[in-house]
């Protein structure tokens, strides 16, 4: 039986009776956790186990934003602190090969942490290319300032996660790095020319074979002057699928962000009509989720094939790995930055 094409947030540390009833009836494809859902490793494991018991799916996608730096949902004292993406280049004196090795190692360690508590999807890597004068919402979450470095280190992060049995999500397609406002708070409009935007597409094109991707709630006037990428048939069909060549499951960024207007059912329906495969709703508000679910179709056609293909990549055993030795090496190299 097909699941419904949305990913749901949760309100707290355990499922409420209302959530159990709603999720049983609506059957979302997956779930996403935030800090409000995280206390101890034992609690997180119990929560993810309860979601899998509720849905009856052992391969249920459970997502988190575990980037490091400002965006780390599982953190001290129960989990290690990880550096922001940009730190890897700075810490190794701009040596790209060493930086790549460290990024992969850090992602492999994150995968070990996440898999241990039942999380199997990490919304990493950020492949946006920050532009001068842009809002700081991306900033040091990016792996540098140039497309080649971001493409290479982003791929290293994705490979490290997959080696540890966790799926990556490339974000925010086709690029959030030129936005001058935070899409959590308002709708960014980027007036750059098409040729300038193509520079930003490059990291996504290099990683277009990855299983999962997330859209940007950004208007690119050179591509579609009327709609943010999440709602744009032109951007999804021509830029994301054709120019960039992304063939994986395309999910929206969080539908509860203030960049988008209108009621939640219409937000969901516009995204699906534009070509998004999957809807993401994060804040745990049950009335909002009910509206999103009403606008979410059952997974079918190409969307279901992409979803199934992504989950197939979770079927392998993680590569052999000694987390104690790996963490000691990682900490020794990046110790000063981890302590800062």
Sequential DSSP letters for 120-177: -EE---B-----TT--TTTGGGSS-SSHHHHHHHHHHHHHHHHHTT-EEEEEEET--T
Beta-sheet strand order (sheet of 62-64): 249-251, 212-215, 167-173, 121-122, 62-64, 28-33, 4-9, 279-281
Q: For 77, what's the count of Cα atoms within 13 Å in the CB-facing half-sphere?
A: 0
d(CA 43, CA 46): 5
Under 8 Å between Cβ of 240 and 174: yes
Q: 21 Cβ partners below 8 Å, 6+ apart? A: none
List the catalytic residues: 184, 253
Q: Smallest Cα–Cα separation from 94: which of 152, 50, 42?
A: 152
d(CA 111, CA 51): 19
């Amino acid at each position: 039986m097909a699941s419904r094409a949305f990913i749901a947030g949760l309100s707290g540390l355990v499922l409420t009776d209302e959530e159990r009833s709603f999720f049983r009836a609506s059957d979302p494809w997956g779930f996403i956790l935030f800090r409000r859902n995280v206390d101890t490793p034992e609690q997180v494991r119990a929560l993810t186990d309860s979601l899998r018991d509720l849905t009856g799916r052992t391969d249920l996608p459970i997502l988190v934003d575990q980037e490091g730096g400002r965006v780390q949902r599982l953190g001290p004292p129960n989990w290690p602190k990880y550096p922001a993406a940009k730190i890897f280049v700075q810490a190794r004196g701009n040596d790209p090969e060493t930086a790549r090795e460290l990024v992969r190692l850090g992602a492999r360690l994150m995968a070990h942490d996440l898999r241990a508590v039942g999380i199997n999807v990490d919304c990493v890597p950020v492949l946006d290319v920050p532009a001068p004068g842009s809002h700081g919402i991306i900033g040091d979450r990016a792996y540098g300032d140039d497309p080649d470095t971001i493409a290479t280190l982003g791929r290293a992060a994705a490979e490290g996660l997959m080696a540890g049995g966790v799926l990556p999500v490339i974000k925010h397609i086709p690029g959030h790095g030129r936005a001058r406002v935070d899409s959590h708070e308002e709708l960014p409009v980027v007036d750059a020319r098409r040729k300038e935007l193509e520079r930003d597409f490059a990291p996504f094109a290099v990683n277009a074979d990855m299983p999962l991707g997330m859209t940007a709630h950004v208007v690119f006037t050179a591509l579609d002057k009327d709609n943010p990428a999440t709602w744009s048939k032109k951007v999804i069909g021509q830029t994301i699928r054709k120019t960039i060549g992304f063939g994986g499951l395309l999910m929206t960024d969080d539908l509860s962000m203030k960049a988008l207007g209108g009621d939640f059912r219409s937000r969901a329906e516009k995204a699906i009509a534009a070509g998004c495969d999957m809807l993401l709703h994060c804040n745990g508000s049950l009335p909002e989720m009910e509206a999103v679910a009403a606008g979410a179709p059952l997974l079918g056609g190409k969307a279901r094939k992409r979803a199934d293909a992504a989950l197939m990549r979770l079927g392998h055993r993680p590569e052999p790995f000694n987390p104690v030795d790996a963490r000691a090496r990682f900490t020794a190299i990046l110790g000063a930055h981890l302590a800062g």
